[in-house]
């Protein structure tokens, strides 16, 4: 059981629009090209896998579910994204890979899936989140899945080098979790070429 709870400033953030979807009118999930990706998952298989992965959640954000049905993780061709760091200002990062539901990633050894990552880093990932990707080699992209939270559907970054553990520290410091996008669809739409 993950012990650390709290997502920094997300509890105080105000959201507009339907939960788990972009707040921009008429927006759709961006079609992106992947260098590699897992096998697409049929709706029923995906639903069952997500319930096993996160049994306490009744609904995974729709935009992320749609992405998993098509790609089930993988490496995007366009990888860059920006976010505002409270101390360092505007930051440019990149997506190394999106995590898929455990599938051929375990067989090929090319990456790890969502479940493996969740188990491996459970004490560092707030209970409201699931890992959806790896950024800049070891930082985790997280998706808020707690429907009662104001951050539901948002994408956040768990900056690994900020996680300095003391013996008495249960979880990462509050300053290691950074807001990236209002929804997974918004995050995909913001991806750009890296220089």
**Beta bridge partners of residue 97, listed in sequence order:** 134
pLDDT band per the 50, 70, 90 thresholds, residue 58: low
3-state secondary structure 136-160: CCCEEEEEECCCCCCCCCCEEEECH
**Beta bridge partners of residue 177, listed in sequence order:** 158
- The DSSP 8-state label assigned to residue 19 in this structure reads T
- Model confidence pLDDT, tens digit, residues 108-148: 455 578 878 888 888 888 888 989 999 987 899 999 988 88
* HSE value, Cβ hemisphere, 13 Å, CA-based, for 70: 12
Domain ranges, residue 20:
8-190
41 neighbors 49 (Cβ within 8 angstroms): yes
Q: Does 108 fall in a domain?
A: yes
Alpha-carbon distance of 125 to 135, in angstroms, equals: 15
pLDDT value at position 187? 96
Q: Does 195 fall in a domain?
A: no
Alpha-carbon distance of 39 to 26, in angstroms, equals: 29
Q: Does 2 fall in a domain?
A: no
Q: Does 3 fall in a domain?
A: no
Tokens found for residue 7? 């997502």
Q: Choose between 171 and 156: higher pLDDT.
A: 156
Alpha-carbon distance of 22 to 184, in angstroms, equals: 8
Q: Does 91 fall in a domain?
A: yes
Look at 20-29, 47-56, 185-194 and tell me which has the smallest mean pLDDT: 20-29
Alpha-carbon distances, residue 187 vs 73, 169, 181 (angstroms):
15, 31, 5
What total number of domains does the chain contain?
1
- The DSSP 8-state label assigned to residue 191 in this structure reads -
CATH value at residue 93: 3.40.1580.10
Backbone φ and ψ for 75, nearest 5 degrees, come out as -110, 115
Tokens found for residue 76? 């995007």
């Amino acid at each position: 059981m993950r012990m650390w709870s709290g997502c920094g400033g997300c509890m105080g953030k105000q959201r507009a629009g339907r939960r788990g979807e972009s707040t921009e009118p008429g927006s759709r999930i961006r079609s992106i090209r992947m260098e590699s990706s897992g096998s697409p998952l049929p709706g029923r298989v995906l639903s069952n896998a997500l319930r096993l992965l996160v049994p306490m959640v009744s609904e995974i954000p729709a935009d992320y579910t749609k992405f998993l049905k098509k790609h089930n993780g993988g490496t995007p061709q366009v990888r860059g994204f920006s976010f505002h760091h409270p101390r360092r200002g505007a930051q440019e990062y990149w997506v190394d890979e999106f995590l898929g539901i455990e599938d051929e990633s375990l067989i090929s050894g090319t990456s790890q899936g969502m479940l493996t990552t969740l188990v491996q880093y459970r004490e560092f990932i707030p209970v409201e989140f699931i890992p959806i990707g790896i950024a800049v080699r070891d930082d985790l992209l997280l998706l808020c899945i707690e429907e009662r939270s104001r951050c539901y559907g948002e994408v956040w970054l768990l900056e690994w080098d900020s996680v300095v553990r003391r013996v008495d520290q249960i979880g990462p410091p509050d300053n290691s979790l950074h807001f990236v996008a209002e929804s997974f669809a918004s995050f995909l739409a913001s991806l750009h070429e890296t220089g």
